[in-house]
Amino acid sequence: MVDTRTKILDIAEGLVQRVGLNAMSYKDISEAVGIRKASIHHHFPKKENLVDGLLERCAVSYGDNYQRIVDGSEKAPDKLRKLAAVFADGLNNNKLCLVGSISTDSNTLQDSSCHILQSTIKNTVSIFAAVFEQGRQEQSLTFTGTDEETAFAFFSLLVGSQIVARSHGGMQLFQRAAEGVISGFER
């Protein structure tokens, strides 16, 4: 059985991914979970506490998912395609990357949330960088710059393409953008 805190996080995550952080309210969450707003405040006294909880959970769940892909036995280009598929799946389910969704509202975040967001991005880029390091070593990828710089650019492309494709072009545009970049890296 899922506890109330987890239900709140599940609903909040879906709302942020669909409508954005600043459009989500405790009222929306309370109606979806079937509890009073006071119950949400019991678990998350302020919205910043909820944002921190979302980001911390995202860092673990998506970080673990990305790490499983990176730890696989495939060649680097195939791993890049699997990473892109995570974002494609989110787009297909109308759920933008949580980090990307929250990043668009970063100017309204409290310092603690900004630090968690930055740490989550840094960790994600670090995980992605391992694929570019592998690709350089096995000579399956070619790129200029460091592994981390290239991983940041690739992560940014996936997040940005997902956001734009939801509004214009849909899945086909996202997949063409991701594949175009991955093909550009391939030797």
pLDDT of residue 2: 73
Q: Which residues of 143-156 are buried (b: 16+ CB within 10 A; e: fewer)?
A: beeebeebbbbbbe
Cα 120 versus chain centre, distance: 9
* Whole-structure pTM value: 0.92
User: For residues 41 and 49, what is the distance between their CA atoms, to the nearest angstrom?
Assistant: 9
pLDDT of the residue at 1: 66
User: What is the Cα–Cα distance from 94 to 158, expressed in whole angstroms?
Assistant: 15
Q: How does pLDDT run along the chain (187 residues), one tens digit per residue?
A: 679 999 999 999 999 998 989 999 999 999 999 999 999 999 999 999 999 999 999 999 999 999 999 999 999 999 999 999 999 999 999 889 999 999 999 999 999 999 999 999 999 999 999 999 999 999 999 999 999 999 999 999 999 999 999 988 789 999 999 999 999 999 8
Q: Which pLDDT belongs to residue 57?
A: 94
Domain 47-185 belongs in CATH node 1.10.3720.10: no
Residues 6+ apart with CB under 8 A from 7: 33
| Per-residue model confidence (pLDDT) at position 12 | 96
CA nearest to 122, candidates 51, 59, 41, 32: 59
Domain boundaries, the chain: 47-185
Give the three-class secondary structure for 39.
Answer: helix
Q: Which of 9, 14, 12, 17 is nearest to 101 (CA)?
A: 17
**Per the structure block, which two tokens stand in for 84?**
């892109």
SS (H, E, C) 116-133: HHHHHHHHHHHHHHHHHH
